[in-house]
Amino acid sequence: VRRFADRLFDMVGRIDRLILNAGVMVPPYHVTKDGFESQFQVNYLSHFYLIERLLPLLEKGQDPRVISISSLAGEGGLIRTDVELEAIAHVKKEHYSPMRSYRESKLLQMIHMRELAEKHGDRITFVSVHPGIVNTDLFYRGKYGKVMKTLLKPVAQVGYWTGKLYTPEYGAKTALYLATTDDPLDNGGYYADSAPRLSNPIVEDDEYRAQARNLSRRWVELS
């Protein structure tokens, strides 16, 4: 991520749209070489670092917007103190819950978008998105991926017919709407199906948002 940010400064003079969609979901326990649980680093901390680095380019953009692909799972996140944030970032294997780590990483994406909107919302728009339940390879990774793909294929067809499961193309719809619309957007808001959606109330906690940002900046060596 650091190398990518450095290259962008060499390649472009401004950024108008930045859509963040790197992600892993409920993988086996893994600690990155930087020392963080993998979902925390890939889903949240890498995006946190990238945006913080690219703010100067975004500030030069034309109607600049940052769109973070979060998840419905983040609506159920519970993390609300710096101690809990530390525990999620450096969770031990014996305490690891794949779904909890995924859920909290998605909540943190929402929190970061809201915090950035508070600090830079006069120049840049920041929003987070639930794309829907999308039938992608995200579901088919890991030890039982092939089995899951076989079992879920007929379920996926039913999901398409009933509208409960989205194709990847349809799953991109809300992010593309937010990137291209001339409609006024809720800066720091959370969207699904191209419309505002109620977020996790923890996102409104000013004190925790500041704690999360300060601790994350220290982890990525920006402060």
Give the amino acid at 67: I
In eight-state DSSP terms, residue 37 is B
191 catalytic residue (yes or no): no
Q: Please state, in angstroms and as integers, the Cα–Cα distance from residue 3 to each residue in 9, 10, 34, 61, 124, following that order.
A: 10, 11, 15, 21, 24
Q: Are strands 190-192 and 195-196 parallel, antiparallel or unpaired?
A: antiparallel
**How is the chain split among helix, strand and coil, in percent rounded to 5?**
55, 10, 35
Cβ–Cβ < 8 Å for 171, 141: no
Give the amino acid at 89: A
Q: Which of 49, 102, 166, 208 is catalytic?
A: 102
Catalytic residue ranges: 102
